[in-house]
Structure 1
Amino acid sequence: MKSTINLKNIFLLLLLSTLGVSCVEEEYDLGEITSPSNLNVNAQVVGQSEEMPYGDGSGTVNFSVTADNAMTYKFIYGEGVEEVSYDGNSTHSFNKNGVNDYVVTVIAYGTAGASANTTAEVTVFSDFSDPETELLLTGGSTKTWYVAVSQPAHLGVGPATGDNMDNPSYYAAVPFEKAGEEISSCLYTDELTFSMNGENIVYNYNNNGQTFFNASYAPDFGGTGAEDECLDYDSEGTINVSLSPSTSGLTGGQTTGTAINFAEDGFMSYYIGASTYEILSIDESSMHVRAVMGNDPALAWYLKFTTSQEEEEEPAPFETEYDELVWDQEFEEPLDTDLWNFETGNGENGWGNQEKQYYTTENAEVVDGNLVITAKAEETSGFDYSSSRITTEDNYEFMYGRVEARAKLPEGAGTWPAIWMLGSNYAEVGWPDSGEIDIMEHVGNDQNTIHGTLHYPGRSGGNADGGTIEIENASSEFHIYTMEWSPERIVFLVDGEVYHTYTNNPNSPYHQDFFLILNVAMGGNFGGAIDAAFEESSMEIDYLRVYQ
């Protein structure tokens, strides 16, 4: 049935009827409203057999629900525990010891909120007990946990099917990475208190008024959804918590085998739409957990906690691991074309970025001891701008070391200079699997900001892994742009100040040879709008050095 519904604000109706003020009615076409039908629930008690008719003692039940015209399903297990499923599948562990009967309510939702519901009764045997974890979690009475901000990978993300648990491969926050950032500093002030209430565990989450929300869920709580952000969230109240067997299938010491289940949609500091957290490790003062992200079951988010609230210490001066100069370009002679390759043209789709320039061999030259790459507003092979792009591909490639460039950058809206590196196997594996290291990027539309960025599987394009730093006189003075790359980390600096650090992990593409690229682009996805009055501007590089 197709319905057109007259919507009025009830409060306004009452007010207007009192004041005698008229209003114009608005009509909204809600489209086809279809209620789910043929709702069926199948419940399979794990380990059920003739010898164990109520299961193997884990208390775990696999639910599978089908319905015509259903978009999502909600499982209501009781005691405030609920779960939303998009495919109708859910696994739940009932933790009351012994053989017990449970009534589970399942709601199927169709379009425009139309729904149908049913119940399923299950009889389950549970003898799960983990007194050691219970004692470590609560201290036997009450214990408060904090995000372990000084530890690498205190917040991380990796595949849900198994990963380097201590250093997730997709993303691993460096110590204090979020400190001082307005959008995310609230993560570090959370207090998570677990207490014993008789034989039960209860949980109190004190977020000091704000919670750090994953970007996918932020719009539901008044956020923009453009990025992870701190949002106002009422965290008052105590909720029930239970322990159950972990169902992830992880083995080999990667997990304790126990999961924490939060009633009433409870969660641990970072909101990702999950209420069950697998305990990977726990001792008297530290805890490492992970949860599968609610809207993407292929991902798991990782969190580390500690029992001491940590404060950021003054960072120690950067100490390089590499001090032997192994390669340099001082640009005192004409450009060495046996070393530097010119890449010409506009590439495919503006070098994959909608760039507006045409690269030539004429826009790069050595002048007064500096390499000068100039972007010009001039018609070139059908494009409105010309510039140059040079690389050391096949001529100089290396793995690990410190790269240092002393450079002065172009200016003008639309300019996009870069000093960067690309994995030497890009032709075989493609981008971003090859990896990319942007030692320095700058855009004239944001004159005082320098970017250091990494592109790799899971973090590329607009979701790349990077940092920024504000400097003065980027286009009128020389600054030293540095990237130090080791098997353990990649660090970005300007004039000796660290502004971004990446924890290099064994699964990253940054364990192979890379080559250098220098260019000045115009416009494109990152360069942005070009000033109509732009004529020309140059990136000048005094030297380029590699230490190992």
Structure 2
Amino acid sequence: MKNFKYILGLLIILGSFLQSCQDDDHDFGEVVAPSNLSLEATIVNADDDNPYGDGSGQVQFVASADNAINYKFAFGDNTSTNVSDGNVMHSFTSTGVNEYVVTVIATGTGGTASSMTTTVTVFSEFDDPETKSLLTGDDTKTWYVAAALPAHLGVGPVETVTPDYYAAAPFEKTGNPCFYDDMITFSLDANNNIVFNHDNNDATFFNVDFLSVGGGGGSEDQCLTFDTSGNKFVNLASAQSGLGEDVSTGTQMMISDGGFMSYYIGTSTYEILEITDDYLYVRGIPGSNPALAWYLKFTTDPDGGAGGGNQSAEGSELETEFENLVWEEEFDGAALDTDSWNIETGNGDNGWGNNESQYYTADNAVVSDGTLKINAIAENTNGFDYSSARITTMDKQEFEYGRVEVRAKLPSAAGTWPAIWMLGSNFAEVGWPNSGEIDIMEHVGNDLGEVLGTLHMPGNSGGEGISKGTEVENVESEFHTYTLEWTADHILFAVDNVVFHEFENNASTPFNQPFFLILNVAMGGNLGGTIDPNFTQDTMEVDYVKVFQ
């Protein structure tokens, strides 16, 4: 379709030019009011059959003036924005064909200004009552930064839709208290408009690129005194990012008068990636760098998603939600059941990405006397000093949610690194850590008796995994049961039915898809550490693997 352009300016001047007669200001140099103000409006995808647009409600505005340093647009729909280049796309959201009086104010040095007003008529068919209801609770709802959740603040390239560059760990920004004490309230007024109120307790957490907005400076994000008081309005519109419905609701919110969501990145527009009754996940493109996307998570829990003051399950006996046995491996045969298990061989890429020192073979996984033995042996194998085994259920036995139990006895020699763990079934397509990783049990002989439960995902890869440990007596001489209890809401790690690590799961993590199991014993590597020079052989012995749903 061809666009209709509403050319305004010298042809249509309904505003007035305000000329300054001030003396020169030594702080600003010569004080000159903007002149020759013009405004061009383009209704997106308008044509002869659709003179008011395609229903998106979008209008592209371009203002220009001599000697202007800023342009403020008031769109006549309770929203406004400031831009330095005079170029802005705005979405009008009242359904149907509506007329709006739009004003642009061009500001020059010393605060001098010129203005222009015009009228545009636009068609919008966008409506999202569900999001409006979830934001406001059909009356008033208060949201808090989801400090207890991983990646509650993150950044990544705009095209990946994940915070690949950085994702904050739970409560990582505690040293910046102005961030976690924010309260954002959405409510409905008498006309069913969404009203936005941001209580920042007088200070805001500023991105380093915008410190000057808050009167600060330096090379790191900072808390700065900043006034966010007063009610603003929120318009909901169709998001223009083109993200698929699998990663976005397709709705964006536009906050009037420079409003923003807790972390200042120079934008008032946020795409809503996900929203539920108590969880809000948004994405904003900063005004300074459109190649980046910042991610923010919010919750209705004043404790930041830590459970609203409910007692943690950690340290308590596991109360399972799953009783239906859907798969088990008792290792009762004379060999590994290849209908359920794959045997991986080799040393992978750079020691499976961890600088490990073993070479995996089929011979090191032995089934006998009702158990599986994964033997790590000091022997020259294909150029490596150690042999071991690694088996998986990829493409054969995969599970989404449930309780996974593995009863095992662990090796104890220094340098051994046994693991009972899981990877997302999309691992081959998206790679790690995008697939997610759940380490039900990790142990290293160099720290005998400490068992770890760990989660990895974008922003929490490598040594940044979300991990906790617990001390287990006689890990090498007695069988213990290592358990994962996994739902859409939480992930629990337990040893002998006692929970030692709890993670609040949510729909933004990769832990909401089928995963497959992996059993292995590595040698050395990033976590295994120094191998005992006198090492000869050690074993992880597995009695059974059971999955309940």
2:200 to 203, 206, 209: 206
| One-letter amino acid matched to 2:41 | V
Pairwise CA distance, 1:153:
11
The match for 1:102 among 100, 105, 109 is: 105
Structure 1 counterpart of 2:384:
383
Please give the per-residue CA displacement for 1:145-165, whole angstroms capped at 9, x wherever unaligned.
3417699999588999999xx
Q: What CA deviation, in whole Å up to 9, does each residue of 1:369-406 have, x standing for no partner?
A: 65443434443321133222123456655565421012
Label 1:463 to 1:188 Cα distance change in 2 as closer, same or farther (>3 A): same
Indicate yes or no: 2:479 matched with 1:482: no
Structure 1 position 276 matched with structure 2 position 272: no
Distance in 2 separating the partners of 1:144 and 1:396: 43
SS of residue paired to 2:517: strand
Q: Please, which of 37, 43, 47 is the counterpart of residue 43 of structure 2? A: 47
Residues 145 and 179, structure 2, Cα contact 8 Å, conserved in 1: no
Counterpart mapping for 1:47-126 below 5 A? 47=43, 61-62=60-61, 76-78=70-72, 91=89, 98-103=101-106, 124-125=118-119
Which residue of 2 is the match for residue 473 of structure 1? 472
**C-alpha distance in 2, partners of 1:307/1:421?**
30
Match of 1:451 among 450, 453, 459: 453
- Say how many residue pairs are matched: 453
CA shift, 1:221, in A, is: 7.0
Alignment of 1:78-227 (within 5 A): 78=72, 91=89, 98-103=101-106, 124-125=118-119, 145-147=142-144, 178=170, 188-192=180-184, 205-206=199-200, 211=205
How far, CA to CA, are the matches of 1:472 and 1:212 in structure 2? 41
Q: 3-state DSSP class of the match of 2:43?
A: coil
Contact 1:94 1:126 in 2 (8 A): no
Find the counterpart in structure 2 of residue 248 from structure 1.
239
Q: How far 1:472 sits from its partner (Å)?
A: 0.7
TM-fit CA distance, 1:471: 0.3
Aligned partner of 1:290 among 258, 282, 292? 282
Per the alignment, residue 542 of structure 2 pairs with 541
2:261 is aligned with what amino acid? Answer: M
Q: TM-score, normalised by structure 1?
A: 0.58
User: Residues 540 and 268 (structure 1 numbering): CA distance in 2 closer, same or farther, change over 3 Å?
Assistant: same
Kindly indicate whether residue 227 of structure 2 is the aligned counterpart of residue 237 of structure 1: yes
Gaps of 5+ in 2: 1-36, 74-79, 94-99, 189-194, 212-216
**TM superposition shift of 1:510:** 5.5
Q: What amino acid is the match of 1:541?
A: V
SS of match in other structure, 1:527: helix
The answer for the alignment partner of 2:255 in structure 1 is: 260
Q: CA deviation at 1:318?
A: 5.0
Given that 1:243 and 1:258 are in contact with CA atoms closer than 8 Å, whether structure 2 keeps it comes out as: no
Distance 1:186 1:154, change over 3 A: farther
Deviation at 1:358, TM superposition (A): 0.9
Corresponding residue of 1:499: 502
User: What is aligned with 2:517?
Assistant: 516
Instruction: Note if contact 1:411-1:444 (Cα within 8 Å) is conserved in structure 2.
Output: yes
Change in CA separation of 1:384 and 1:237 when aligned onto 2, cut-off 3 Å: same
Q: 2:522 is paired with a residue of what secondary structure?
A: strand
CA contact (8 A) 1:439 1:492 kept: no
Aligned residue for 1:328? 328
Could you list the runs of 5+ residues in structure 1 that have no partner in the other structure?
Answer: 1-40, 66-73, 107-118, 172-176, 224-230
How far apart are the structure 2 equivalents of 1:480 and 1:138?
45
Give the Cα–Cα distance (whole angstroms) in 2 for the partners of residues 214 and 473 of structure 1: 45
Shift in Å, 1:291: 3.8
**Cα distance, 1:329–1:491 mapped onto 2, change above 3 Å:** same
SS in 1 for 2:239: coil
Corresponding residue for 1:359? Answer: 360
> Alignment identity in percent?
37
C-alpha change, 1:460 and 1:188, in structure 2 (3 Å) is closer
Report the AA paired with residue 452 of structure 1: T
1:301 aligns with 2:300: no
Deviations 1:290-346, CA, capped at 9 Å, x for gaps = 342425657563544659788421246754342133443445665535565432222
CA contact (8 A) 2:332 2:370 kept: yes
8 Å CA contact 1:206, 1:235 repeated in 2:
no
> Structure 1 CA distance, aligned partners of 2:452 and 2:332?
27
Measure how far apart 1:102 and its partner are: 1.9
Return the offset for 1:277: 3.7
Q: Do the aligned partners of residues 516 and 46 (structure 1) sit closer, same or farther apart at CA in structure 2, a change above 3 Å counting?
A: same
* Structure-1 separation of matches of 2:342 and 2:463: 30
Distance 1:153-1:256 versus aligned 2 partners, 3 A rule: farther
Classify 1:480/1:439 alpha carbon distance in 2 versus 1 (closer, same or farther; 3 Å): same
Deviation (angstroms), 1:426: 5.8
Cα distance in 2, alignment partners of residues 340 and 530 from structure 1: 30
Q: Supply the AA of the counterpart residue of 2:183.
A: E
Kindly tell me: are residues 359 and 146 of structure 1, through their superposed partners in 2, closer, same or farther at Cα, counting changes over 3 Å?
A: same
Q: Distance in 2 between matches of 1:243 and 1:91?
A: 18
User: Within 1, Cα distance between the matches of 2:84 and 2:533?
Assistant: 55
Cα separation, partners in 2 of 1:242 and 1:180, compared to 1, 3 Å: closer
Preserved CA contact (<8 Å) 2:282 2:296? yes
Q: How does 1:383-422 map to 2 (within 5 A)?
A: 383-392=384-393, 396=397, 401-411=402-412, 414-422=415-423
**TM-score using structure 2 length:** 0.58
- The alpha carbon displacement at 1:478 in A equals 4.8
